[in-house]
Amino acid sequence: MFRHRLLTSSAVLAVLASAVITVPASAASQSSGGEDNYLVVYGDSSQVQRGAVEARGGHVTADLSKAGVLAVRTSNPAALKALPGVTGVARDRVVSVPHDQVQVVKATDEGGGNDNGGNGCASTKVACPLQWDLARIHVAQAWQQTQGSRSVKVAVLDTGLTSGHEEVGANYDSAQSVSFVQPNTICPADTTTFSSTQDYFGHGTWTATHVAGVNGALMTGIAPRSTLVNVRVLGVCGFGFDSWVLQGMLYGNQIGAQIESMSLGGFMCGHGVVQGSFYCGNATDVGQDPALWQVYKNVVNYLLAHGTLVIAAAGNDHAQLDRTGQVVSHGTLADASTSANPANDYFGLTEAPGGVPGVVAVAALNRVSAAGAAGETLYGQYGVGRKDQLSYFSNYGERIDVSAPGGARNFNVPAFDCVSANCRRAGTSTPTATDNSEDFGAWGVDGTGALCNDCYIFVQGTSMATPQVAGTAALALASNRGLSPRDLAGVLRRSVSEFVNSDATPAIEDDPSKPTWNYSMDYDARGISNRLLGGGVIDAARAVSGGGD
């Protein structure tokens, strides 16, 4: 009998409580002794002059000149801004795993699934019992054509990978896996672990093994025969800096990764001053964010031109993104507090990397919205009995390319709107059931934060939806050789199935007289239109056929 550890809610949240800290925008830096880290942006790559930066007292910490950028540590950013060819100097800011990832409510020494003497639980006919998400996107049917190819390389940019986990196979290229994490003043644990590629947070192991983990007793990766590379850009506390992420993006391209999976992100005032925005309402608040936004666009454009497609999470704020990646709705899912608070309102901010043009942006869907009895929620329910509903936390809007199963609590409402445990349930209803509402997968650490080779959890997020699209992209490339990044993006957008039911998940309440205004759902409103959830639900079987039926 296989024995595996399934982390409990309290165990996982204990790890998060010790690791995750809130970083105000004004403090989101790596400053020390008057110096700080900046990104120096040039008009184009030919104008980059490293020597001129160093002559002005700057220390180049990363050469991103392929995209017309240098990462520089300096106490005098104004001197760098005056250099020839420089179009902006932006402070290096925090990027993190999306909010509200881990909600596990079941504890056992044995996970569900098939104990079949060592054979994998997935086949060309069925998905693993706990992986309803892979069944929904028709991975078994896609496997009838391919399980991936060694020639297809996927770089997962995340918190690292617990290399000893039983879901990590021989297709993991540890030699090319690297860490771009650096010591910093915000997360002390990074001081001793920064050079390691191991996963001291847990999240990266989930995303990487979902893309290309082995077909094991409890779960499988979507493209287990693809080459998997771990690019660690987020540290022990689940966050990193733009410079780490941007280095990782360029590195993935350097080693020949055709696909980069990025379940991470952050917001900035990329579009400059936006009237009525709490965060971007004036030039002082905006600062040099437009220059930082340009950096991300430069890097993504470079990758597209040199063989790499980025697939990224849309984010877990329940905000509406327009075609340019800018938030056009008001209020978020209690990102600042579970009450009416101006800081909950992300209107005017821009999402990166998920909002950057050229990136495949992924929204999250639930399994089915279960029905509750009276009194199990504070404000009622919506979409009862419907499948493929926008997960209550997922961002949405015209910027979304495709949706994928990201899971959600049993009733598909925020935990703070739940009264009962049944409402909040993430795992299975009984130890032997397979009716988990959240996605199941490998986790890289145990409840104490120690590396774990046999830990699994139920979890929700656009982070969980993203590797499903990245894994599908790997299958598509294996069966459709020679696709350019833009062609592959087109295949993914076409490789969708229709939503089972029309969406009933409402937007954030916008009426100040209502109790959930600004921080939770408008329970009385109509659902967000399916046209704001991308073209449909990613479908692996269609992808291996080039986007056709």
Q: Which CATH number does the domain housing residue 348 bear?
A: 3.40.50.200
pLDDT at residue 54, rounded to an integer: 96
Distances (CA, A) of 337 to 226, 344, 376: 42, 7, 22
Residues 132 and 199 in one domain: yes
Residues 332 and 435 in one domain: yes
Residues 99 and 87 in one domain: no
Q: Is 538 within 8 Å of 403 (Cβ atoms)?
A: yes
Distances (CA, A) of 500 to 111, 387, 413, 421: 29, 6, 19, 27
29 occurs within a structural domain:
no
Residues 127 and 87 in one domain: no
Which residues does 125 contact at the CB level (< 8 Å), separation at least 6? 140
Query: Which residues in the chain come in under a pLDDT of 70?
Result: 1-33, 99-118, 549
Query: Angle, to 10 degrees, between the axis of helix 289-305 and the axis of helix 485-494?
Result: 100
**What is the β-pairing status of strands 227-232 and 69-74?**
unpaired
549 occurs within a structural domain:
no
Name the DSSP class of 204: H
User: Prior bond to 353 cis, omega within 30?
Assistant: yes
pLDDT at residue 27, rounded to an integer: 40
Residues 188 and 99 in one domain: yes
pLDDT at residue 112, rounded to an integer: 40
Residues 44 and 165 in one domain: no
190 occurs within a structural domain:
yes
What CA–CA distance (Å, rounded) separates 534 from 89?
34
26 occurs within a structural domain:
no
pLDDT at residue 119, rounded to an integer: 72
Residues 250 and 105 in one domain: yes
pLDDT at residue 299, rounded to an integer: 97
pLDDT at residue 549, rounded to an integer: 63
347 occurs within a structural domain:
yes
Q: What is the CA radius of gyration of the chain?
A: 22
Query: Angle, to 10 degrees, between the axis of helix 485-494 and the axis of helix 462-479?
Result: 110
Residues 186 and 280 in one domain: yes
pLDDT at residue 350, rounded to an integer: 98
pLDDT at residue 522, rounded to an integer: 96
Number of domains in the chain: 2
Q: Which domain holds residue 16?
A: 5-21+95-543
Residues 71 and 135 in one domain: no
CB-based burial label for 520 (10 Å; 0-12, 13-18, 19+): buried
Residues 52 and 184 in one domain: no
Q: Is 438 within 8 Å of 409 (Cβ atoms)?
A: yes
What CA–CA distance (Å, rounded) separates 87 from 338?
40
pLDDT at residue 447, rounded to an integer: 86
pLDDT at residue 69, rounded to an integer: 96
548 occurs within a structural domain:
no
Residues 54 and 150 in one domain: no
Residue 338 tokens, joined: 């579970």
pLDDT at residue 6, rounded to an integer: 52
Which residues does 373 contact at the CB level (< 8 Å), separation at least 6? none
211 occurs within a structural domain:
yes
274 occurs within a structural domain:
yes
Q: In the Cβ-directed half-sphere of 14, how many Cα atoms lie within 13 Å?
A: 11
Supply the CATH number for residue 71's domain. Answer: 3.30.70
Q: Is 16 within 8 Å of 233 (Cβ atoms)?
A: no
Residue at which a domain ends, from 47, 66, 91: 91
Residues 273 and 360 in one domain: yes
pLDDT at residue 110, rounded to an integer: 35
